Chains A and B, each alone.
Chain A
Amino acid sequence: MLRRLAVAFPSAGLGISGSVGLGTHNPLSDLDLLVVDASFQREMQFATVSEGIRTAILCLRPDFDGERERRWMLATSGDVPMLVIVRISFIARDPDGVLGQMQRTLTRLEGERLLRRDELATVRRGHAMEIIRRLGPAGSAGRPQLQMELFAAIVDGWYVRQGLRRDTRQDGERTFVTIAERDAPLAALLRQAVPMTHASLEPLLRAFEHVYEPLDASL
């Protein structure tokens, strides 16, 4: 597939991302490829099967906007899937150096992420608080999809505070194990919230208090 892409887009930066790029793959792993080229008019995701392996191809333009990525990082604690794919890619080919340049930008942001992790956690806490307000008082019927967002804000905030990240699917699959190893009470609360039903709200509010701070009684 890389040969085909190099012929079709001669100046493109080509990266191998995901578990294959990191060397942590297994025989059932999909292949995640990254193609970066200035000729692209838009950024798109493609899927195919190459040599019998399911392959996802993320196509990006090289004009990485450092300020945009910084805003995304603040809004999402730095785990934007698209940026993770770029950051962890193994560079297979990069004649114009565009992919390398994108990775250097993200490395700078990564340092900033670690330095500002309290600030990032505060952003996630604010997001979680907003969701809690929208959900209404504790004990009222929750809305599962909003609760899903709350769950994500709690887990993301915990990862930021711990200085940890989830770069690959395997990292994601280990979420509960990772939390249980470092914070068993939080893991227990999150498990009570899964699967997400109306009954998940109460353990989620307790998980919020565990990760952040006690909730104001007015909420």
Chain B
Amino acid sequence: MNAAPPPATPSAPHLAFRRSLAAFARMGVSVDPAATTLDVAELPDAHPTYRAIVETIRMAEPGAAALLDDASLLDRTAYELGLFARLLRAAVSVSPPPLAGGDADSAAFATAPSVRLVRTRWNWDAFLAEPAAGQPAETGAAWVLNLPPAGPVQVRRLHPLPALLLEVCAWPLTRAAAAAAAGERVEGDPARIAELVHAQIDELCAAGLLRLHAPNAADHAVREMRHLLLASEAPYPGHGIAGMLARAGRAARKHAAAAAAAGDPAYPMHQLDVSVSRIKNLLSGLKLGGAFRVELEEYWASEDLGARVSSVAPLLDVLRRTLGEGVHALPPYVLT
């Protein structure tokens, strides 16, 4: 019996990346998903386009790469969240139930675990809306991405104040502390800023992007422990793989930095190997090893530390972007 032929790599770019590709085209860069050589079995239809974009950035000169990276950051992050959606939903589903009583002065707020903030350095929407513009303005832009319990990733552009609040509330803050943090970054009457922050927090809570939270990370951890350790039903079938992956990604970044700085890099290099090996095993278990095969194969093929770190850095960035930050950066995991 003949083996089934491998699925054909589509030649047309996927629509999920149309915004990125429009920006690339304006910079004279074309992307050809058919040129990517990968086995797309078990990966989303958009994956060849994603890989083609990642490869285009990798091959570009540093200046151009920074622009291409920024132009495609939003689309790539949305796609990556979709890629890890099952894992992330499992982690989000075991969060302790939301607290009540958000009007008290002592009430603290933190970004919901399903929320990611994306900031770009250049304003690509304005650039794409103005055909005559020669280059994008370096005025920045912010988006919130929310992974709902079911369905696609929701993407919404944000004004500066809600973006700032979602950023500072990566760790729990009271309304007063959030207003003080905002006051350090924007000019204006402190009383007026506090009033705006108060109203904006209510709005973000209503939208499910901010949550009433334990007053600090330590209290949150104790709540999480009571919620997960005492429940008779096991919290998640995947035993918290998101937590293991997040820890392996963080360890890899730490060892890469230590190896680069160490007079004798042998041990941190070995530890980096251990962490990357763990990441590969976890991704393989999730059937996502093929999604980052290029990064991993290049890592193991090179003998030079700098080249190894450069190879794996985009994958570590993906893990950092998708698995959460602040109080949600290291989800708990089950040992037995």
Q: Which A residues are within 8 Å of any B CB, using their own CB?
A: 1, 4-5, 8-9, 35, 37, 39-51, 55, 57-60, 82, 144-145, 148, 151, 172-173, 175-176, 190-191, 194-199
Contact = CB atoms under 8 A, between A and B. Distances in A.
B46 interface: no
Given A195-B305, A196-B300, 4 more contacts: A42-B235, A43-B334, A46-B224, A47-B221
23 contacts: A4-B218, A8-B222, A37-B229, A41-B234, A42-B234, A42-B235, A43-B334, A43-B335, A45-B333, A45-B335, A46-B332, A47-B221, A47-B330, A50-B217, A57-B225, A145-B280, A148-B273, A176-B264, A176-B266, A194-B270, A194-B273, A197-B302, A197-B303
Contacts of A4: 218-219, 222
A49 B327 CA distance: 8
B272 interface: yes
B177 to A, nearest CB: 15
Contacts of A41: 229-232, 234
A40 B229 contact: yes
A175 to B, nearest CB: 6
A14 B243 CA distance: 23
A27 to B, nearest CB: 16
A46 B221 contact: yes
Contacts of A39: 229-230
Q: Which secondary structure characterizes the binding site on chain B?
A: helix
B332 A45 contact: yes
Contacts of B232: 41
A214 B248 CA distance: 35
A43 B336 contact: yes
Contacts of A8: 222, 225-226
A148 B280 CA distance: 13
